[in-house]
A and B are shown apart, each in its own frame.
Chain A
Amino acid sequence: MSAPFVLEARGVVKYFGAVCALDGAQLQLADGEILALLGDNGAGKSTLIKCLTGVHRPDAGEIRVDGARLTMKSAADARAAGIETVYQDLALFDNLSPTQNFFAGREQVSGARLLGRLAVLRKRSMHAETLVALDRLGVRIPQDAATVGLMSGGQRQGIAVARAAAFAGRVVILDEPTAALGLRESRAVLDIVKRLPEQGISVILISHNLDHVTEVADRAVVMRRGRVVGEAVPSDETHEQLVGLIVNG
């Protein structure tokens, strides 16, 4: 038998009231793979990854990590399993600095055992590590940036992706990371994504941009009406086939 998949969804069903967002979705992510997730608006892509990352609890079906079934109660469970996500709605803290954003929720502290939540922040160390992580992925931000709220879309996305990459043990999931970006900024984010497998990280990339998908993804699966309806290795030859799947299922 071959190695188990890093991350797998089996028959996942999710309703929002009467709306069926996922209708038995299947997804398999292999080790070191960059998998593109395609589909028209409302196909269920975001909902599927929210089920994979503990944000939503599926009504039926199961999530497996390294072949073992995992029931996640919150996003923290997914993170503990080495899965980091950059959501479509970014989820940065506009009022905080890049470093504070980077370490939000997992601040480095001294004296945690004695002081608990009042443990003292290790600001310098966090700042230095943030700069290293951003640099490693080629994310450039203004030197003395006070808060990320005033940064450009590309810089913000760069911080979000770098944060996910820095803390993910196994999988980074990106929901339309280039949607709001210009050409050059998209370029920078794609370059970051391409480098992730070198660090032992598998990727799920949601995108509406087939050129981007063709450039970085090893495999593309297409969703429609809450189900995966087909897949292909993205290339210029399969371009039309993928478009057909997206539009007609």
Chain B
Amino acid sequence: MAILIVLFAVMTLLSSVFFTERNLQNLVMQTSVIAVLAVGQLLVIVTRGIDISVGSILGLSTITGGLAFGTAWGGSAVATILIMAGTGLAVGAVNGIAYVYGRMPNPLIITLATLGIARGLALIISGGDSVVGMPGLVVDLGSGLVGPVPWAGVFLLVVAGAASFLTRQTQWGAWIYAVGGNPEAAARVGMPVRRVLVSVYCLSGVCAGLAAVLVAGRTDSGFPQAGQLSELDAIAAVIIGGASILGGRGTVSGAVVGAFIIGTIRNGLNLLDVDPNWQLVTVGVVVALAVELDVIRAALERRFQAVQAGRGSAGASA
């Protein structure tokens, strides 16, 4: 959070445009997409997993939603949104079930596979072209304002609020942290570890489908390249937000703050006319640094623990 405030201050100094209503609205609209993806990614990372397919799921969902809107039965906004979320759920379920019941050693390869599959399907069923036209409600969610506040921000608050409640206040929430912290112990105390794991990949997919609603709404279209490389932003947001890639640790609010840090960096580099390719480099570097910091923190904690234990026995025998 402190980092975010400093970033805001620095950007305000560097660019006269940054702290204007227009730009802040723009920032919220762009960042809400990253943040919704990050909320889903957080759930996965808390269980020691990773989901790199979310960008492709986002792209595929804009296409299925857009195509459904063109048909009679998918004509309503609610149906379009449900189809996008459902597309995400379907791919997420494939990820989770293949990983857990296929006994894969880690979730990286299966989500890499669906990264390819979902993007390929998006290109195939769209014929490579964008699908123009989204229901009014979707357009409003992606680009509309309530007073000065973008609907996308409100949408993010609802998604993040629900996820925050689920992770902090429910039994399922307690279990994802337990499974991430010590999967063997979780199984020993009778938690349904496999179903917990499947559930987080399903929800990550749903979040990607919901992020697709915002992207499709902002552009009033579905396009097969939507969300390309946004898995990088989502993972970066989660790690910067204080979650541990080693599992068992991280909060929804942290992930949202992390998303805003990434969003502000991207927005700022844009305003400063930095080549967009350098944005990618920057985010990549930030991810690498954040993961390394996380690893170092864990190592320091283990050392502290050893010192504590040592002090316990030394103190007793003295």
Give the residue name and chain of the B residue nearest to A92 (CB): B185
CB contact list, A80-115 vs B, under 8 A: 87, 91-96, 100, 104-107, 109, 112, 115
- CB pair A91–B170 under 8 Å, yes or no, is no
Residues in B with CB closer than 8 Å to A104 are: 174, 178, 185-186, 189, 191
Question: Complex Cα distance A116/B301, Å?
Answer: 36
Residues in B with CB closer than 8 Å to A55 are: 188
Question: Complex Cα distance A107/B177, Å?
Answer: 13
Give the residue name and chain of the A residue nearest to B306 (CB): A153
In the assembled complex, the CB of B193 is this many whole angstroms from the nearest CB of chain A, namely 10
CB contact list, A105-134 vs B, under 8 A: 105-107, 109, 112, 115, 117-121
Residues in A with CB closer than 8 Å to B317 are: 182-183
Question: Complex Cα distance A107/B314, Å?
Answer: 36
Give the residue name and chain of the B residue nearest to A123 (CB): B169
Residues in A with CB closer than 8 Å to B186 are: 93, 104-105
Residues in B with CB closer than 8 Å to A92 are: 182, 185
Residues in B with CB closer than 8 Å to A87 are: 188
Question: Complex Cα distance A7/B196, Å?
Answer: 33
**Residue in B180, B184, B313 whose beta carbon sits within 8 Å of that of A183 in the complex:** B313
Question: Complex Cα distance A244/B188, Å?
Answer: 36
Q: B105 in the interface, Cβ–Cβ < 8 Å? A: no
Q: B125 in the interface, Cβ–Cβ < 8 Å? A: no
Residues in A with CB closer than 8 Å to B106 are: none
- CB pair B170–A95 under 8 Å, yes or no, is no
Given A93-B182, A150-B305: A117 and B172 interface contact (C-beta under 8 Å): yes
Question: Complex Cα distance A112/B73, Å?
Answer: 36
Q: A66 in the interface, Cβ–Cβ < 8 Å? A: no
Question: Complex Cα distance A96/B179, Å?
Answer: 11
CB contact list, A176-201 vs B, under 8 A: 180-187
Question: Complex Cα distance A76/B316, Å?
Answer: 36
- CB pair B174–A100 under 8 Å, yes or no, is yes
- CB pair A150–B304 under 8 Å, yes or no, is yes
Q: B88 in the interface, Cβ–Cβ < 8 Å? A: no
Residues in B with CB closer than 8 Å to A118 are: 166, 170-172
In the assembled complex, the CB of B311 is this many whole angstroms from the nearest CB of chain A, namely 7
- CB pair B316–A95 under 8 Å, yes or no, is no
- CB pair A93–B185 under 8 Å, yes or no, is yes
Residues in A with CB closer than 8 Å to B249 are: 95
Given A100-B174, A150-B304, A150-B308: A91 and B184 interface contact (C-beta under 8 Å): yes
**Residue in A79, A91, A95, A153 whose beta carbon sits within 8 Å of that of B312 in the complex:** A153
Residues in B with CB closer than 8 Å to A79 are: 190
Give the residue name and chain of the A residue nearest to B196 (CB): A117
Q: A241 in the interface, Cβ–Cβ < 8 Å? A: no
- CB pair A93–B248 under 8 Å, yes or no, is yes
Residues in B with CB closer than 8 Å to A184 are: 315-316
CB contact list, A3-37 vs B, under 8 A: none
In the assembled complex, the CB of A138 is this many whole angstroms from the nearest CB of chain B, namely 15
In the assembled complex, the CB of A203 is this many whole angstroms from the nearest CB of chain B, namely 19
Residues in A with CB closer than 8 Å to B133 are: none
Q: A232 in the interface, Cβ–Cβ < 8 Å? A: no
In the assembled complex, the CB of A117 is this many whole angstroms from the nearest CB of chain B, namely 5
Question: Complex Cα distance A186/B317, Å?
Answer: 11
- CB pair A94–B181 under 8 Å, yes or no, is yes
* Listed residue (A76, A149, A181, A184) with the most chain B CB atoms within 10 angstroms of its CB: A149
Give the residue name and chain of the A residue nearest to B180 (CB): A95
Q: B6 in the interface, Cβ–Cβ < 8 Å? A: no
Give the residue name and chain of the A residue nearest to B309 (CB): A153
- CB pair B312–A107 under 8 Å, yes or no, is no
In the assembled complex, the CB of B31 is this many whole angstroms from the nearest CB of chain A, namely 28
Question: Complex Cα distance A18/B68, Å?
Answer: 60
Given A119-B170, A119-B171, A152-B308: A76 and B190 interface contact (C-beta under 8 Å): yes
* Listed residue (B169, B172, B316) with the most chain A CB atoms within 10 angstroms of its CB: B316
Residues in B with CB closer than 8 Å to A209 are: none
In the assembled complex, the CB of B186 is this many whole angstroms from the nearest CB of chain A, namely 7
Question: Complex Cα distance A185/B311, Å?
Answer: 11
Q: A75 in the interface, Cβ–Cβ < 8 Å? A: yes
CB contact list, A134-156 vs B, under 8 A: 149-155
- CB pair A182–B190 under 8 Å, yes or no, is no
Give the residue name and chain of the B residue nearest to A182 (CB): B313
- CB pair A75–B188 under 8 Å, yes or no, is yes
Q: A74 in the interface, Cβ–Cβ < 8 Å? A: yes
Question: Complex Cα distance A55/B187, Å?
Answer: 10
Residues in A with CB closer than 8 Å to B191 are: 104-105
CB contact list, B289-318 vs A, under 8 A: 301, 304-305, 308-309, 311-317
**Can you give 5 contacting A-B residue pairs, CB < 8 Å?**
A95-B177, A96-B177, A121-B170, A150-B301, A182-B313
Known contacts A95-B181, A109-B171, A154-B312, then 8 further A-B pairs from the complex at CB < 8 Å, ordered by chain A residue: A76-B190, A79-B190, A95-B249, A100-B174, A115-B170, A118-B166, A119-B171, A152-B308
Give 7 closest A-B pairs by Cβ, nearest first.
Answer: A182-B313, A105-B189, A184-B316, A182-B316, A152-B312, A95-B248, A95-B181
